A and B are shown apart, each in its own frame.
Chain A
């Protein structure tokens, strides 16, 4: 294990150090006093490598990530897991806007709440199915333009109005599935999604991710799964198919 003091380092310097350590075969890296450095772990491809971050990392943490694990013991900012292919990001605090932007694989777990446009344009490709699990609540535009993957909001914390998601949920969505634990009013839904109660089979499907969430943050899977989940899916996978003449 190698400890790096990130204090005062520009992101280019810090990320060069991390890359060099990984190139030299280091599997466990701890970054201390991180404050705002962008792109940490971007393109990380070493399957069994772990980067632990103490302090607030900057935007686009784990962008284009292709394997390995990043664990943040603080809040994260905007755009974590941007266009990730594989790997795991674990955030022990809250997260910002557009997290999981265009993710095509891998998993993101956020213990607390997340901001606007969570999972925007997530997509699955071949066998890759991205998974994003938020422990608390999220703001507006959850799963905006979502094209594939699994997005799970546990609602263990609720927002100022007692909601677990904001408005315009699944606007423009045309693939993938949203699972929301808690109530969602019709007006909160985008025009492109339909909501129904999740079936026991659905819960079996999401169980491994709830288990993994609990293994990081210490909650009880059965307790989480004992409450009602809503399942949201798009009405059509080709919403604009009728729009164009051939």
Chain B
């Protein structure tokens, strides 16, 4: 465990911080790449929403030259753990490239981990019959996080990565040199841990394959969701409720093939009394979804932003117990805990709105029409 609460004053023990987490997501729907500076500026505006016990970012489109390989961002306690994890990775993958994740010295971030990234190609012989490459990656992540003590997979998707740690997000962003990366989707999180510990692996975003999730609030249904996920082979090991959201989107969107919108309606299902008032066909659908997937219903106060390489989605709990604002400007979609966090990077959006409780805001990539080449 990573309690380093010795030298500096500890928020909520030594002083009070009246706050809640902050989240931001910014997407360019035509894959235009932009630097991490934008989202750092946005999340830093909501500094008051966190307390320095967790900050993190997800970035999509950052490894274009290695985009066919699974990019693993790893957090190690030390070299022994690194060796153990690498030995395990080599059984299943060819390590095409690997290096330390570049960082810079930032006095606010007291780094005590070894941060490493790998670009991996699954070995033919490691693939499980009738299962996909993605299933192998999921199984690998689950194994490392559950069984290799002191090794932790931060992210495991293609052409994306998660950068996180204990500190304020602007300091974490600076530490990981995110101003030097360019992506077309960025998520950011400013953490105020409530009922789980503030450690590096517990910072947001949480990721699996190319999924990333940031979350403000509390998933009170964690126990139910965890049991539901266990029956599909997911293991929750990170001491944090948000973890279940990452695995649930993977299960529903990637494995079951539901649309992001239907998935949102399973997580933030309409209340029974609303279903009662629906036209008969709709009523049947929602009754079936709630009945079959009751174990995936997310209860409690939350505002989450979920992304993968193709889309970004913001979602609230059904009775709107956490803030979420959206805005659009040309091909940019912004989702944040506060309107001011959007306006600090986009002063005059074309549209600003507060999504209804349980109604997802979904940004999808605009498919460019195939250009016919004439020689």
Distance of B283 from chain A, by nearest CB (Å):
15
Q: What B residues does A116 contact at CB under 8 A?
A: 319-320, 357
Q: What B residues does A58 contact at CB under 8 A?
A: 48, 338, 340
Let me know if B319 and A140 touch, CB within 8 A: yes
| C-alpha spacing A152/B76, complex, angstroms | 58
| C-alpha spacing A143/B352, complex, angstroms | 25
Q: What A residues does B344 contact at CB under 8 A?
A: 35-36
Known contacts: A35-B344, A115-B354, A116-B357. The answer to whether A75 contacts B339 by CB under 8 A is: yes
Q: What B residues does A141 contact at CB under 8 A?
A: 319
User: B interface vs A, CB < 8 Å?
Assistant: 45-46, 48, 273-274, 277, 319-320, 323, 325, 338-341, 343-344, 352, 354, 356-357
Let me know if A36 and B341 touch, CB within 8 A: yes
| C-alpha spacing A198/B101, complex, angstroms | 67
Interface bracket on A: 20 to 34
**Is A246 interfacial (CB-CB < 8 Å)?**
no
Let me know if A97 and B323 touch, CB within 8 A: yes
**Is A128 interfacial (CB-CB < 8 Å)?**
no
| C-alpha spacing A75/B352, complex, angstroms | 10
Let me know if A35 and B320 touch, CB within 8 A: no
Let me know if A36 and B320 touch, CB within 8 A: no
| Pairs A-B, 5 closest by C-beta atoms | A36-B340, A116-B320, A56-B340, A35-B340, A36-B45
User: A interface vs B, CB < 8 Å?
Assistant: 11, 35-36, 38, 55-59, 75, 77-78, 94, 96-97, 115-117, 139-141, 160, 167, 187
Q: What A residues does B341 contact at CB under 8 A?
A: 36
Query: Can you list 14 A-B pairs with a CB-CB distance of less than 8 A?
Result: A35-B340, A36-B46, A36-B343, A36-B344, A56-B339, A58-B338, A58-B340, A115-B354, A116-B357, A117-B320, A160-B356, A167-B274, A187-B273, A187-B277
Q: What A residues does B323 contact at CB under 8 A?
A: 77-78, 96-97
| C-alpha spacing A58/B357, complex, angstroms | 21
Q: What B residues does A78 contact at CB under 8 A?
A: 323
| C-alpha spacing A77/B341, complex, angstroms | 11
Distance of A59 from chain B, by nearest CB (Å):
7
| C-alpha spacing A178/B340, complex, angstroms | 31
Distance of A33 from chain B, by nearest CB (Å):
9
Let me know if A140 and B357 touch, CB within 8 A: yes
Let me know if B320 and A77 touch, CB within 8 A: no
Distance of A134 from chain B, by nearest CB (Å):
14
Q: What B residues does A117 contact at CB under 8 A?
A: 320
Distance of B293 from chain A, by nearest CB (Å):
23
| C-alpha spacing A97/B303, complex, angstroms | 14
